[in-house]
Amino acid sequence: MRLFFVISTLFLVFNVNQVENAAFSVDLGSEWMKVGVVSPGVPMEIALNKESKRKSPSVLAFRDGFRTFGEDAQQVGIRFPPNSHAYLMDLLGKTVDNPIVDLYRKRFPQYEIIPDEERNTVVFKGEDEQFSVEELIAQMLLKAKEFAENFSNLPMSDVVLVVPGYFGQAERQALLTAGKIAKLKVLSLINDYTAVALNYGVFNQANINETAQYFIFYDMGAQKTSAALVSYQLVKDKQTKETSPVVQVLGVGYDRNLGGLEIQLRLRDYLAKEFNAMKKTKTDVFTNSKSMAKLFKEAGRVKNVLSANSDHFAQIENLLDEQDFKLKVTRETLESLCEDIWPRVVKPLQNAVKAAGLSLDTVKQVILFGGGTRVPKVQEILKEEIKSELGKNLNADEAAAMGAVYKAAELTHGFKVKKFIVKDAVLFPIQVTFERESNDGGAAKTVKRVLFGQMNSYPQKKVITFNKHTSDFDFFIHYGDLNHLPEGEISNLGTLNFSQVSLKGVSDVLDSFKKNEGVDSKGIKAYFVLDESGILTSPGVEYVYDKPKVEDDIESTLSKLGSTITNLFGGKKDEKPEEVEKKEGEENNGEEVNKEEKPDEKETEKPVEEKPEEKKDEKVPEDNAAAKNETVKLVVVKEPVEFVVSYKYTQSLAGSSLDASIQKLDKLNKAEADRAARESIFNALESHAIETQEKLSHDEYASCATETEIEKIVKECNDVSDWLYEDGSDADIKEYEKRLRALEKLTNVVFARHWEHEERPEAVKAMKNLVDASKKFHISAQNMTKETNPDKDIFTTGEVVALEKALNETIKWFDTQTEEQKKLPKNQDVIVTVKDITDKMALLEREVNYLVSKMKYWRPKKPKVVEEKKNKTEEATPEDKPSNDTTEVPTDTDDNDAKEEKPNASGSEQPVDDHSEL
């Protein structure tokens, strides 16, 4: 038992020390937000919001200086549509002239969208203040953090964010910026379908083996639809020899404008037309934003109901000009409204299969997630396509958040999770373009090289080698061939160029090393990383060359420095730099090369040729004794090349703009915290005044106060209530606290009396039970002293007397005090309190418990049998003792005699019989 306690204590200490390792995930969907939590001692779970629900509406609203979120924000949105913001995710990283922004304006005309002065991105203009999309998303992330911290009772900042898989560089960078504004440490971004696939794999690891199994995860959310074909397989690592499960994305298809929102908007417009057709008012309902907001909410409710029912009534009170609206809607009507979008349902699935280069026959199951997949028509179309049943054994709402929180546990120190390798896939190919001078003096040629092809796995590192450039030059990073995308999708991506990289001082670097004899140039190498978040970075550019090295020579400064950039780029400690380059070069050899550029493939990255460590066949002159001891080797030397990156895609907030956004949110957060504290103390004062008057209207409380006290308290309550709704409506927190303390000072006296009178009967009953039990124990204890029972002398006479004294004093005090208390009315101060009774009980219990404990560990004294035997042996004559020649008596005789001994009636043992069997 003690060992278990020690282990438990150590476990608790471990958990306390790992508080900083708590992390959470956020699936910030277009319509709903889910938050996953992992913390020491708490398994991965979905955090509940303040309404104890597992998901919250992704809505943020501002009104009269107040900020609300979730369901409260939805209510604000119905009354004041321009003040409520929703469906924001797809606006990240977009300029105001993007087709996605145009569609958003069309769907939600109530918003006033203006361009950011510096970046030309989306800014919502409100009543008193304007917010960028990053700032609005950051405030939602802060609310998610609040849910996570309240759920786990731990501070948190580490987070993994779920993003749509079709997010490009600008969108992903914008979401990371939102995390910075919210002061969160974003561990990673993870694509929604990848998070779902990870969650499914973690809970089905037992079914994963060395044979690849293929699944399709089909998601129809509020705003988009996607399908991802993935494989599960156990793979053995060649270096560690460990076997781990791997989930790899092989193919992806999507439609960013197909989802539950499109269906809901069509139903909203249908209801609006039907209301106009009823001609209940001359006002066109389409011109009233408040009425359209009501219709939008009702359309969402009816849409959900029709997923399980064939028909349902849409009804809204006071829709417009005090006119009610009620209309029966059937499932057939809803399906007919969306007749033109049903063919689009199956396209993402087909594109995913095509991108993976597989067929549906190889897919084990198509698994659904996302709220839109609950629409019966969607399931019907998919079943017809795959010719089999759909998988519905996944939590459609929480799978992405749970997969992301597993990733968060893996990336956070202090949590040990089973290794599950995740390999995502590139949706949009990435190319590098540069110009190369012609050898014949003609015009320069534009060369394109694929850096990351479609469906290449990532995270991954690549390197490209430039062999012919001898002066400063530029190269450009941009999207490659996008013909596989759905119609119109290319324009949604915005600019197709990522960045321009300008190399400086190239000729100076080359000239400085040409002077060295034996130098073998390997060209200029540019390194690229596509990290777990799907963000492309360029860690550095180096000029690489081989030079001979003599063993007896002292290493040059450059050799000592080695390849700093390459090591940072990902080289392992036990790998040589050239081996790392070779591996990276081999990865790029498989990229497609433009047929017209094949003769000049030297410009592409190529593996470094292995050099022999020693030139064993080289002859050394015999007359040169020193040369005999020299061994020539080739050393790889790398010199950093200066470069400047100019980003071409929409940039996120940075510098002073980012600082201003952080300060804006800090100000809002402080105002919200102050308002919450003010509301709390206001409600406490208001409720205390009301509850006090209510209680004093009942005899059980009124009987505990004098007439003067009642009159004074009632007057104070009335004054407080009048003040709260008049002069005190704008008072500060300190004034509310002062009023509350003054009122509590009056009421606490009366409420304390009431509590004493309510609780005293139980305390008196407990005291009587203790006294009765102590009396019985005292009687028993009197017969357990040396004087009364020598054989059972557990207690001393003094201990029994002390118990008797404590018992008599307690009885005397209790009888006296309770009699005095009975003489007093309830509205007088209490003489004997519940605490007084419990204190006296504690003193008596201490005396009793001491004696009980002593009795528990008392054992009877053993009789002195051995001494009696010894005395009898000494009394025997020499003749009685056996001689040395006498046969030895068996040694077990004494044992047999001992077994015959039995205690007598008094409890002592009988003397040993002299005439034993021996």
Q: Percent of the chain at pLDDT above 90?
A: 54
Q: For the packed helices 133-152 and 169-181, what is the interaxial angle rounded to 10 degrees?
A: 60
pLDDT (0 to 100) of residue 886: 38
Which residue in 241, 244, 239, 243 sits closest to 574, CA to CA? 239
Weakest-pLDDT range from 39-43, 62-66, 473-477, 497-501? 39-43
pLDDT at residue 665 greater than cutoff 60: yes
pLDDT (0 to 100) of residue 441: 62
pLDDT (0 to 100) of residue 887: 36
More confident site: 122 or 436: 122
More confident site: 647 or 513: 647
pLDDT in tens, 171-230: 999 999 999 999 999 999 999 999 999 999 999 999 999 999 999 999 999 999 999 999
- Average pLDDT over the chain reads 82
pLDDT (0 to 100) of residue 526: 92
pLDDT band at 394 (very low <50, low <70, confident <90, very high): confident
Which residue in 311, 533, 343 sits closest to 422, CA to CA? 533
Weakest-pLDDT range from 498-502, 538-542, 889-893? 889-893
More confident site: 601 or 878: 878
Compute the average pLDDT of residues 47-66: 91
Give, for 740, the enclosing helix (H) or strand (E): helix 733-782
Calculate the CA dihedral of residues 123, 126, 130, 131 and round it to 10 degrees: -60
More confident site: 889 or 643: 643
pLDDT (0 to 100) of residue 561: 41
Tell me the CA distances in angstroms from 894 to 296, 315, 888, 914, 916, one per residue in order: 101, 102, 14, 12, 10
HSE-CB at 516 with a 13 A cutoff on CA atoms is: 15
pLDDT band at 764 (very low <50, low <70, confident <90, very high): very high
Compute the average pLDDT of residues 97-122: 92
What is the spatial distance between Cα 226 and Cα 602, in angstroms, rounded to a whole number?
40
Which amino acid belongs to residue 125? K
pLDDT at residue 70 greater than cutoff 50: yes
What is the spatial distance between Cα 260 and Cα 220, in angstroms, rounded to a whole number?
7
pLDDT in tens, 858-871: 888 776 555 555 55
What is the spatial distance between Cα 420 and Cα 232, in angstroms, rounded to a whole number?
10
Compute the average pLDDT of residues 505-511: 83
User: Encoding tokens for residue 384?
Assistant: 């017809």
pLDDT (0 to 100) of residue 41: 75
pLDDT band at 517 (very low <50, low <70, confident <90, very high): low
Q: What DSSP character marks residue 483?
A: T
In 57-191, alpha helices (H): 71-79, 99-107, 133-152, 169-181
Cα–chain-centroid distance for residue 197?
Answer: 17
pLDDT (0 to 100) of residue 104: 94
One-character DSSP codes across 681-716: HHHHHHHHHHHHHHHHTSHHHHTTS-HHHHHHHHHH
pLDDT (0 to 100) of residue 794: 85
Give residues with Cβ within 8 angstroms of 725, minimum separation 6.
none
CA torsion through residues 552, 553, 559, 560, sign: positive
- Is the distance from CB of 295 to CB of 272 less than 8 angstroms? yes
pLDDT (0 to 100) of residue 629: 47
Weakest-pLDDT range from 171-185, 330-344, 436-450, 864-878? 864-878
pLDDT (0 to 100) of residue 546: 80
pLDDT (0 to 100) of residue 907: 39
More confident site: 610 or 693: 693
For 441, list phi and psi in degrees, rounded to 5. Answer: 85, 5
pLDDT (0 to 100) of residue 787: 85
Compute the average pLDDT of residues 750-757: 92
pLDDT at residue 443 greater than cutoff 80: no
pLDDT (0 to 100) of residue 345: 94
What is the spatial distance between Cα 625 and Cα 524, in angstroms, rounded to a whole number?
39
pLDDT (0 to 100) of residue 300: 93
- Is the distance from CB of 840 to CB of 848 less than 8 angstroms? no
Weakest-pLDDT range from 396-400, 459-463, 546-550? 546-550
pLDDT (0 to 100) of residue 863: 66
pLDDT at residue 909 greater than cutoff 60: no
pLDDT in tens, 129-176: 899 999 999 999 999 999 999 998 899 999 999 999 999 999 999 999
pLDDT (0 to 100) of residue 418: 87
Whole-model pTM: value is 0.75
Tell me the CA distances in angstroms from 36 to 87, 371, 521, one per residue in order: 21, 18, 52
pLDDT in tens, 814-856: 999 988 888 899 889 899 999 999 999 999 999 999 999 988 8
Q: Percent of the chain at pLDDT above 70?
A: 81
pLDDT (0 to 100) of residue 615: 38
Compute the average pLDDT of residues 536-550: 81
Give residues with Cβ within 8 angstroms of 548, minimum separation 6.
517, 518, 632, 633, 634, 635
Give residues with Cβ within 8 angstroms of 624, minimum separation 6.
none
pLDDT (0 to 100) of residue 415: 82
Weakest-pLDDT range from 67-71, 220-224, 608-612, 680-684? 608-612
Pairing of strands 642-647, 497-504: antiparallel
Compute the average pLDDT of residues 385-414: 90
Cβ burial, residue 332 (10 Å; 0-12/13-18/19+) = exposed
pLDDT (0 to 100) of residue 767: 93
More confident site: 103 or 582: 103
pLDDT band at 625 (very low <50, low <70, confident <90, very high): very low
Compute the average pLDDT of residues 777-787: 88
Please give the biggest Cα pair distance in the chain: 141
pLDDT at residue 380 greater than cutoff 70: yes
pLDDT (0 to 100) of residue 871: 53
pLDDT band at 550 (very low <50, low <70, confident <90, very high): low
Which amino acid belongs to residue 563? S
